[in-house]
Amino acid sequence: MKILRFACLAGLLWLTGCATTGTPSSNPFDTDSPAGTASHIPVIPNGPLSPITAGRAASSEVASLFTPADLWERIRRGFAMPDLQHELVQDREQWYASRPDYMQRMTERSSKYLFHIVEELERRGMPTELALLPYIESAFNPQAVSSAKAAGMWQFMPATGNYFDLKQNAFRDDRRDVLASTRAALDYLQKLYGMFGDWHLALAAYNWGEGSVGRAIARNQKAGLGTRYTDLNMPAETRLYVPKLQAVKNIVANPEAFRTELPLIENHPYFQTVDITHDIDVAMVAQLAGVREADFRALNPSFHRPTIFAAGTPQILLPWDNARVFQRNLDAKNQGQYASWTVWSVPTTMSVADAAQRTGMSENDLRSLNNIPPRMLIKAGSALMVPRTTTTRQDVSAHLADNGQLALTPEIVTRRTTVRAGKRDTVRSMAQRYRVSVDNVADWNDVKTGAAFKAGQQVVMFLPVRMSKGSSASGSASRTTGSKAPAPTRKGGKPSKKRR
């Protein structure tokens, strides 16, 4: 018994020595000490301990242990923008809430794209409210085009699209592409937030332009006024822009309060990317994947033409379950062509009839396939989609697939000309004689439509000059004198000036 007591005492003394041996580190989590030698000093707070309150325990930085099955709930969890308090918000809430059919169509359409957008926002650490922005821009319609020629879900103008590397050529428009346009939109929004440090101002700049918002802020600063979103003088569309987004956010946050039912959108990818290594017809992709062509185009809305050129678009999107079906059927296809069409670079300016004859197509088919309007010539270097022969083995090059453009020029152009008025000539009689509009003749000469000209007076006219392949101007203006340079005209007015 004494031996046992002695052994216990010795063990206790040895453990005490181990706990106090060595120089204590100033950092209780010091990892620079060799393994097995670092000492631990408990950190004891000053003062009495206090229990964790509910508010402290519910910090927004603590991630939930549960993954939401509903994408709407995932979006709600990521709300991070300050709410806009404004009477216009209530006005827009009522507008959306009073149109349940519109809301239903819009939200159902978004179900194809929302998961990808939310994933990208979370990856970048951006507020998930921004996933709702295409509701405001386009009602989540990737084929939407505004009166100002903005296109796609995110409504990129042509120049802005070019700035963010969204290709716009004869075969595709990446402003409509789901992946490319989302990447560009989030890049742009991040850039604007970096400029203004305020999400409401960043959104105003997305709609109105960063220069316009910057100048509005500068004007208010000079006048000693506030520089928040609600303080700035801006167009009505931009004034309503953030209230619209806030209204949709409020409805998504609490649909029951607005008697709105949101369709179930599962927290799961709707589509996945599939690699293609050959030029392939859209119809064949849909057939091999077992989907309707309309459904394929809804996920791949950037394509203009019936064939996808692999060198320019090496990936396509397919519904999640159909991607494997497509790959299996594509691997099993070991004979025949994948593409029915290829690209021909026009060697010289020619008429549509000449181009159709060279390619073995009817003129109507060539116009329809390439969207060529009437009374236009095809300029040299244009990229035309034409039938692919059975002996063609080479796919379209990357240069053509990425940069091919259709360039047209009018068969009839106008030339500035002066003619002499005869006795009793009026604006109307001159217009009838030269087959132009009365308004144009009056505008070109800065007179009223009912004015009369003096005999021998020089009258300015812009008369049509018919152009033929490889020839100079000829036609009705050949009897007149004046400048040989054709002058572009705008509808119903004087020649337009080119903008640099």
Burial class (CB in 10 A: 0-12, 13-18, 19+), 184: buried
Task: Return the sign of the alpha-carbon dihedral for residues 96, 127, 123, 276.
Answer: positive
Q: What is the DSSP string of 229-258?
A: GGGS---HHHHHHHHHHHHHHHHHH-GGGG
DSSP state of 479: G
Among candidate residues 170, 174, 143, 180, the one with its CA nearest the CA of residue 158: 174
β-pair partners for 376 = 410
Quote the crossing angle between the two packed helices 178-196 and 199-208, to the nearest 10°. 120
**Catalytic positions, written as ranges:** 137
- Tokens standing for residue 239: 């004034």
Please give the DSSP secondary-structure letter assigned to residue 271: E
| Those residues with Cβ within 8 angstroms of residue 311's Cβ, 6 or more apart along the chain or in another chain | 279, 395, 396, 397, 398, 400, 401, 402
The Cα 158–Cα 149 span in angstroms is 7
Spell out the residues 6+ positions from residue 453 whose beta carbon is closer than 8 angstroms to its own.
Answer: 421, 425, 426, 427, 430, 459
Q: Which two tokens stand for residue 476?
A: 């009705």
Angle, to 10 degrees, between the axis of helix 320-332 and the axis of helix 282-289? 110
What is the Cα gyration radius of the chain?
Answer: 34
**d(Cα 41, Cα 138) in Å, to the nearest integer?**
60
Helix (H, G, I), strand (E, B) or coil at 1: coil
Neighbours of 330 (CB within 10 A): 19
DSSP state of 128: G
**405/170 Cα distance (integer angstroms):** 5
The span from the CA of 61 to the CA of 54, in Å, is 14
Backbone angles phi, psi at 85, to 5 degrees: -100, 105
Among 451, 218, 457, 467, residue whose Cα is nearest residue 350: 467
User: Which residues lie below 8 Å from residue 467, measured CB to CB, with a gap of 6+?
Assistant: 377, 409, 410, 411, 412, 413, 473
Alpha-carbon distance 52 to 28, whole Å? 23
